Amino acid sequence: MLHAGLLAMALLLPLLAVAQAVSDPTPLQYRDAAEEARFHALAAELRCVQCQNQSLADSNAQIAHDLRREVLTLMQQGNSDAQIKQFLVDRYGEFVLYRPVMDTRNSLLWFGPLVLVLAGAGVLAWVVRRRSRQVQPMGDSEERW
């Protein structure tokens, strides 16, 4: 019994190493509170390129740690938010932006749901109107419930 317990612990021990959260060994160094606020606002607008639906601020992926460092470095070099976003878009594509710029390439994503709802409402109105014409009014001689 004791041997089985020790064997189970020995087999489960490597899983503890895998289960540990990835942490950034050195925290980011901000010059002042305004820079920190700007950084957090910008990191919330950017998507982690590895995670599907997490912002750069929320992700614990190693690439997110690296990108946060890169963003802070670009900020401290004097780049504007627009320049930083453009740098990341050039590198990773528009996927990195939570709110991509609306243009002709993605207009279907912006307006597609509205078009589908309006088309569905039009079809529903057409079907209801067509069926209402087919219903014959009841005559006086017909039995009513």
Per-residue pLDDT of the chain (145 residues; tens, 9 = 90+): 666 655 656 666 565 555 445 555 678 888 899 999 999 999 999 999 888 788 888 888 899 999 999 999 999 999 999 999 999 999 988 888 887 777 787 788 778 899 999 999 999 999 999 888 876 666 666 565 5
Per-residue buried b or exposed e for 91-120, using 16+ beta carbons within 10 Å of the residue's own CB: eeeeebeeebeeeeeeeeeeeeeeeeeeee
Report the first-to-last Cα separation within the chain, whole angstroms.
78
According to DSSP, the residues that pair with 97 across neighbouring strands are 46
Measured CA distances, 30 to 39, 72, 76, 88 (Å): 9, 8, 9, 21
Report yes or no on whether pTM surpasses 0.75.
no
List the structure tokens of 123.
């079809």
